[in-house]
């Protein structure tokens, strides 16, 4: 318990909110990418298993994404690790993660 408290105190000193600390890559992917990539949204559905891990690793860093996403660097890093962990060539490829 003490450790958890210290963790949150350190996190708040770094200016992070609890939601940023707590949100895992899957949640961030659904929330942030799903903002646009959902049915009825402005972009087609996107899944971690759409690409191989090494492609995801380079995709955003090389500016391949066609529009400004409004996602912080920290959140994007977390999302990229999640995409790589569930990419087409990973042990657990993930399709249709963003709810319809």
How far, in Å, CA of 12 to CA of 14, rounded? 5
Task: Work out which of 62, 66, 73, 100 binds ligand HEC, going by CB under 6 A.
Answer: 66
Closest CA to 79 of 65, 91, 66: 65
Q: Which residues of 20-31 are buried (b: 16+ CB within 10 A; e: fewer)?
A: eeebebbebbbe
| String marking each residue 8-37 x if it binds ligand HEC according to CB under 6 A | ------------------------xx-xxx
Task: Work out which of 3, 4, 39, 42 binds ligand HEC, going by CB under 6 A.
Answer: 42
For residues 55 and 45, is the Cβ–Cβ distance under 8 A?
no
Is 67 a residue that touches ligand HEC (CB under 6 A)?
yes
Q: Which residues bind ligand HEC (CB under 6 A)?
A: 32-33, 35-37, 42-44, 46, 65-67, 69, 71, 76, 79
């Amino acid at each position: 318990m003490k450790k958890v408290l210290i963790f949150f105190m350190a996190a708040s000193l770094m200016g992070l909110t609890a939601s940023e600390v707590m949100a895992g890559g899957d949640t961030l992917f659904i929330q942030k990418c799903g903002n646009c990539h959902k049915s009825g949204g402005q972009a087609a559905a996107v899944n971690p298993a759409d690409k191989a891990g090494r492609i995801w690793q380079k995709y955003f860093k090389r500016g391949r994404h066609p529009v400004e996403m409004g996602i912080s660097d920290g959140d994007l890093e977390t999302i990229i690790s999640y995409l790589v962990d569930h990419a087409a060539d990973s042990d657990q490829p993930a399709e249709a993660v963003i709810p319809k």
